[in-house]
Chains A and B, each alone.
Chain A
């Protein structure tokens, strides 16, 4: 896929007598297709390098020396090129190529899954000879053979186009399938007992031009002409790949990627491709359940809703709005998230809402940092800093994009991670830091000094250079739930302060967590990326009332519930017992809340302990929109009806509101979106018409550039993702996720900046802050000083800024990141402890993975990975058992010697079968140090 050298230059070529414009470097096959001249092809795929293997795209090209047959997929356009795609020689060539391909291709179309949507079938009909002169025996192979858990291969159908093998090597980087026995018996196959265990194997099925590769879950389940296609967006993670869902008779049967330029380039990961199966599981909740005694029994909706509403009302009577808390919401559509935000913050009046479960980043950080798009992150020659979890395991398609950027577009990746990840081999430099001490490495990089002790000097130098070169995108997320979010936030703050041109791509993993954050399902924020303090008056005008004080985050809510201070806990698709890093606290919280109301699609570890369970509609059962990690809003398709009487989450919000004596006024998805567009500052101008228009088929990134350019572009032209007023967190946010919660709360301030000196001045100020903090890291005086400074700013701000009375019609400003005031105090590792680091796998014990037939059983077991030297020191044979203890609890696990894990660390898989690190983690501690001992 050679890049067009310069998009503005064009040259003219003649195709079939018609003069067309083409971009220099573009391939003839693409240039012709753009003007509607389709040249048939099998091996060519626009997202992979051309190989010219199938010869189907032969056309006559005359560049002045007479016409000659050449493959159009291998011919870059040249000025004056004269091309004929339908001359006699071309037709004869196409005829011959198809006859040749059919020498060995079986005519088993009636029993082949591809029949009806098969390029070979279609092109044989359109360009083929109609008859074959071949009477010889065709090739035979044992069939079908599984080449992975998800993909089945019928080798005799293969036309050796090299698409799947090229994909495996070039795009996915997992060359586990290859041409074998090249010659008369060439076949695609794996090495014996080395299956095609790629997270991206399903894409080979999608791009196979014949029925050779079929997805095992879809095989023999439908005929293409029976399928109904609905475009939608995948919500398995927050990348938001565009998909088309094929369904038949009210069942989703298949999902394929749609090629949209800014996101997924037609690729999907196998989890995203196959986990829709979970929603037709027999374990789905079909209707509401209410606890009677020790059992959850099915009841009618009115009864369940009445019970839920009266529990909320009684809770309000007993302990006021602060007695109600809502956890979760990342599964919801944007509209449902907005309805729930309006219900919780506007009607119930509590701000104890968090759509993340202590495994993400504080809302004000995610919403306040200048946001990058995937395209910006993957820009040619850019620098990407990974302060993030293992992307291939958590956001697989983002990994594919980044891999392409590194290999094809000269992007430089700098990885900061405690141990090697799947991104390490892409990284120009992979710098190892102790869990919780990211900021040490970041500061050293920004200082431009010599490499600190322990760092790989060459790598460090390369990383520092790449940072200086810019533009820099930081992929920011929680790589390990065994450490607090504070460490990442500090590192981000240092990068923001120390670099001129830096943007952030938040690698939060849950499907629509970004939509939920944008819609205000987090403490201290309101819909549209507004701080509670800023938007209070605007939203009070819109909703009637909003909470006065910022509420608790997930850790705070669970702590309060465990202490008996939460009366009613609503779980919006959240499963804290499985997902919250601290299992002990989560279990105590569910036991401690007086009433637990769960909206869920399945009975999970948490929702099975609820008092009222409201069956919710799942993926493909509701329409609406979703928001990805770029802030890209795209539409979801409603494909099937929910099982039983399960209802959509936004309906349930309305039902509960009515029973609480309020009317949300959200009658439909369109009406809800219209209200979001009207009230949410970041969503201004993003109308339903725009979202559903053909121009927005790639989705719409919010806020719209027009809104940003008006107020939020700094001197260098960087959209800052914030407006002319800066807000940090919200007063009294007990940011328990941020380990230095007290200081952060103290730093809360509305910095006055009506003139908008947010560019250089703001930077200098925060840089000064960083330096001071760096120089006197351990000095409490400094934090006091900082606090004083910020408070002063806050007072000034309240004086100057018309926050109290926003002019009518003027929306509140957008949140803006401000660095936390104090360093988190990470205790040094003592010589007897190992620092715990958790990693996730794509296939884990998550509900969708376990409920989707195709994916069940792919989850691995958790094994502790330790440096072999450390194992030897402990006297443990690799594979031997080890007892791991923390202040919270202990577990026994098998071990694996891994030289990529530094000494002093122990790596455990999160949410896998086997021992569960959630038993060891204290969510309120900045890091988790564990003692290990042999079991014998």
Chain B
């Protein structure tokens, strides 16, 4: 699978430059990789390891801690239905079953066209608006089954392209740091070329 593209590698180096230590850029770079492929590939993790000067195992250790870094392919749209207590009391289970029936996948699965991945999640902090869900982390409140059907239709028809970018996309919100404010960690790649010390020694000093 894919390492970071050349264009993204440049972005990666810019991101690394914001921090005093390259390793600090690990999580932003994982986001970058997820934006590129929609999920974080093993190759991308290896590439990130090279860029920030740690081992791939350390990158994986960080990546695998975060539920929202996907290490398996997911659909263009990731639909998270909350099944925690408030939502559950107001029909989240029914909503989830409806969604599974509508999409023809179990929670955790991806529709055959690769468009939608359905997940059940713990509380997403919108209990006042229960039952709620997220599409690529964009909220939909008080979702009734027919609202869900409309949402799926809109996603399929492309009506929401402007509102909901594909899974992983960050470029709309990416932080821009002026270069003069970057901490300026040196990239560990591409140091100076080694050269032999060539000159003759300076004449020795007089000795007592």
Contact A176 B57 (CB under 8 A): yes
Q: CB within 8 Å of A: which of B162-208?
A: 192-208
Contact B56 A194 (CB under 8 A): yes
Q: CB within 8 Å of B: which of A201-230?
A: none
Known: A182-B65, A767-B207. A191 touches B56 (CB 8 A): yes
Known: A440-B200, A449-B202, A774-B203. A454 touches B54 (CB 8 A): no
- Smallest Cβ-Cβ distance to A904: which chain B residue: B196
Any A CB within 8 A of the CB of B58: yes
Contact A902 B195 (CB under 8 A): yes
Any B CB within 8 A of the CB of A903: yes
Known: A771-B206, A903-B195. A443 touches B57 (CB 8 A): no
Any A CB within 8 A of the CB of B55: yes
Contact A443 B201 (CB under 8 A): yes
Known: A771-B204, A771-B205, A771-B207. A432 touches B194 (CB 8 A): yes
- Smallest Cβ-Cβ distance to A193: which chain B residue: B42
| Contacting residues, chain B, for A176 (C-beta < 8 A) | 55, 57
| Contacting residues, chain A, for B192 (C-beta < 8 A) | 456
| Contacting residues, chain B, for A774 (C-beta < 8 A) | 201, 203-204
- Smallest Cβ-Cβ distance to B49: which chain A residue: A191
Contact B64 A455 (CB under 8 A): no
Q: CB within 8 Å of A: which of B143-163?
A: none
Any A CB within 8 A of the CB of B45: yes
**Which of B65, B195, B205 is A454 in contact with, Cβ under 8 Å?**
B195
| Contacting residues, chain B, for A191 (C-beta < 8 A) | 42, 45-46, 55-57, 59-60
Any B CB within 8 A of the CB of A906: no
Q: What's the Cα separation between A456 and B193 when bound, in Å? A: 10
Q: CB within 8 Å of B: which of A452-479?
A: 452-456
| Contacting residues, chain B, for A432 (C-beta < 8 A) | 194-197
Main secondary structure of the interface of B (DSSP, over half): loop
- Smallest Cβ-Cβ distance to B205: which chain A residue: A447
**Which of B45, B57, B59, B203 is A177 in contact with, Cβ under 8 Å?**
B57
Any B CB within 8 A of the CB of A666: no
Q: What's the Cα separation between A432 and B194 when bound, in Å? A: 7
Contact A180 B61 (CB under 8 A): yes
Shortest distance from the beta carbon of A776 to any chain B beta carbon, whole Å:
10
Q: What's the Cα separation between A439 and B201 when bound, in Å? A: 9
Chain A interfacial residues counted at CB < 8 A: 52
Any B CB within 8 A of the CB of A368: no
**Counting chain A CB atoms within 10 Å of each CB, which of B61, B192, B196, B199 scores highest?**
B196
**Counting chain A CB atoms within 10 Å of each CB, which of B45, B55, B57 scores highest?**
B57
Q: What's the Cα separation between A78 and B124 when bound, in Å? A: 46
**Which of B55, B57, B197 is A433 in contact with, Cβ under 8 Å?**
B197
Q: What's the Cα separation between A754 and B47 when bound, in Å? A: 66
Query: A424-460 vs B: 1/0 string, CB under 8 Å?
Result: 0000000111100101110110010100111110000
Query: B56-78 vs A: 1/0 string, CB under 8 Å?
Result: 11111100110000000000000
Contact A175 B195 (CB under 8 A): no
Any B CB within 8 A of the CB of A38: no
| Contacting residues, chain A, for B65 (C-beta < 8 A) | 181-183
Q: What's the Cα separation between A174 and B60 when bound, in Å? A: 15
**Which of B54, B201, B207 is A768 in contact with, Cβ under 8 Å?**
B207
| Contacting residues, chain B, for A903 (C-beta < 8 A) | 195
- Smallest Cβ-Cβ distance to B206: which chain A residue: A771
Contact B207 A419 (CB under 8 A): no
Known: A175-B54, A447-B201, A449-B202. A902 touches B194 (CB 8 A): yes
Contact A900 B57 (CB under 8 A): no
| Contacting residues, chain A, for B195 (C-beta < 8 A) | 432, 454, 902-903
**Which of A174, A443, A777, A900 is B194 in contact with, Cβ under 8 Å?**
A900
A/B interface sample: 11 pairs, CB < 8 A: A177-B57, A182-B64, A432-B194, A434-B198, A440-B197, A440-B201, A447-B205, A452-B199, A768-B207, A771-B204, A902-B194
Binding site for B on A (CB under 8 A): 174-183, 189-192, 194, 418-420, 431-434, 437, 439-441, 443-444, 447, 449, 452-456, 764, 767-768, 770-771, 774-775, 777, 867, 869, 899-905
The list of the 5 closest CB pairs from A to B, nearest first, reads: A771-B204, A178-B61, A191-B56, A443-B201, A774-B204
